[in-house]
Amino acid sequence: MTQQQWTVDRIPDQTKRVFVVTGANSGLGLATTRALARRGGHVILAVRDERKGRRAVAEITAEQPDADLEVRHLDLADLDSVRAFADRLHTDHRHLDVLVNNAGVMAPPRSLSAQGHELQFACNHLGHFALTGLLLDLLALGDNPRVVTVSSVNHRSRSARLRFDDLHGERRYSPMGQYNQSKLANAVFGQELHRRLTEAGSPVRSLLAHPGYTATNLQSGTPVGLYRVVLGRIGNPLFAQRPDRGALPQLYAASEPGLEGGQFIGPDGPAELRGAPTQVRPSPTASDPETGRRLWEVSEQLTDVRFTFPTRA
């Protein structure tokens, strides 16, 4: 299924379609927002720092004055913020066509979210789980609606394990191990969401994407010294692709006609580190229904969000 020549120019017209992109002010999120806006989409930049969000809008509109953009505050590490964002979106919009669960944090020293959950698990997984559940009714009213959850090739790492007896790293904390766990959680969630949407007969489709190795401030911005040097200062210049290239898999998943739910889109190059969008395989753990059920139940308990799966009449 490799799309050797697929570029953003092949994104169909997105006029009248509404997108939410989390973490849209930089990196993959900014590249995704820019590409969708160029094709006429109305893109809601869901960002923790609204000042940076407005700066991103100014950057895009300088190139494309007619870009249809709005900035809204969303702190995925705070479930109260997630609920407030969803409430406001219900007030202001009658439907949502695509939710791109893109934002993330990587390898910080151990810290806790507003609700006392380990920060990476809270921001990368729990916040997106809650956001998806709270917006599912708006998505069901959309045109060809999709949830695109951005994972990582790291979800296959040896250290990527869902430690259900220590999800928050209270007994043992490894910055990268906890990051890899959160990216595995993204993949498990995307697959379990697909199963549940299919069983319910929902028009919403769940897809996964990963960017390969892409140069963003996710690596260079990590506060852990060794990881910052190896991933950001050394790895990025030597091996990483640009954000506009790294964003292609999630753009493909968000916009390509005819894609089926449950597909995982990543780069087609060696080790899936770079290249054109293609369908890739999730890890066996990510595809395991029992793991999916268990993570879903834990996520419901930790977020107090229960999904309702509306079907289109």
Task: Answer whether 249's CB lies under 8 Å from 277's CB.
Answer: yes
- With H, G, I as helix, E, B as strand and everything else as coil, classify residue 56: helix
Q: Among 190, 183, 248, which Cα is nearest to 214's? A: 248
Residue 179 is a catalytic residue: yes
User: Catalytic one among 179, 213, 227, 252?
Assistant: 179
Exposed / middle / buried, residue 109 (Cβ in 10 Å: 0-12, 13-18, 19+): exposed
Do the Cβ atoms of 24 and 57 come closer than 8 Å?
no
- CA 9: distance to chain centroid? 22
The residue behind tokens 């959850």 is 149
**Rounded to an integer, what distance in angstroms lies between the CA atom of residue 230 and that of residue 224?**
10
Q: Helices 127-140 and 289-303: crossing angle, nearest 10°?
A: 100
Residues paired with residue 208 on neighbouring β-strands, in sequence order: 149, 264
Residue with tokens 């990483």: 240
Give the alpha-carbon dihedral of 122, 123, 127, 132, to 10 degrees.
Answer: -130
- Catalytic residues, which ones? 179
